[in-house]
Amino acid sequence: MKNQHYTVTRDSKPQFRGSDLECFEYILKHQPNSVDHATKYEGWKIQKTSLEGLIIEACLLEDGFENATIAQALENASKRFRYEYGWQINHNGLLEACKEWFQGIALQVPIWNEEIDQLGFDPDCYWERLARSFVGMTETNAPDQELCEAIEAL
């Protein structure tokens, strides 16, 4: 059975990943109030880890983008992908090039099958799904508004 992993954010910035209990404990250790109070009034959130969340976290970890908005960080990653893999996009297609870009450790996403499995994702289709998620998030001028709202509600 796959593990259920969650991400803790504070003011929409990823802070920690782990089980539901580990996330609960993390919030308790990093602020003086109850988890209920922290999630209602202090900007803390716990939500199931998603591919989109992993991508956003990785984009925000890029040098110079730690304090960027989600949209700025995604735009930076998209421009970097197109600059680095323009030839592959033209010859292999957008999704295949994106998959190869992620497999080349372009962003700080989980890369080991054990870690991918622990997060609840199937290692056999992880890279393709990651590429599809990234393309879906970056192929428009702005990320999907509903997705950004859901992520910021973390």
3-state SS assignment for residue 14? strand
136 and 73 in a common domain: yes
Q: What is the pTM of this model?
A: 0.69
Query: How far from each other are the two terminal CA atoms of the chain, in whole angstroms?
Result: 25
129 and 110 in a common domain: yes
80 and 27 in a common domain: no
61 and 125 in a common domain: yes
132 and 65 in a common domain: yes
What is the residue-wise DSSP string for 77-101? Answer: HHHHHHHHHHHHHHHH-HHHHHHHH
Residue 151 and residue 11 in contact, taking contact as beta carbons nearer than 8 Å: no
Per residue in 23-37, pLDDT (tens digit) is 999 999 999 999 999
Residue range(s) defining the domain that contains residue 25: 6-48
How many domains, the chain?
A: 2
Per residue in 61-81, pLDDT (tens digit) is 888 777 788 888 889 999 999
Per residue in 37-63, pLDDT (tens digit) is 999 999 999 988 888 888 988 888 888
Per the domain annotation, does 1 fall within a domain? no
Q: Does residue 14 surpass a pLDDT of 70?
A: yes
110 and 38 in a common domain: no
Share of the chain above pLDDT 90, in %: 40
59 and 83 in a common domain: yes
User: To which residue do tokens 């190869």 refer?
Assistant: 100
30 and 86 in a common domain: no
Give me 140's structure tokens.
């428009």
- Give which of 11, 95, 89, 16 is closest to 49, Cα–Cα: 16
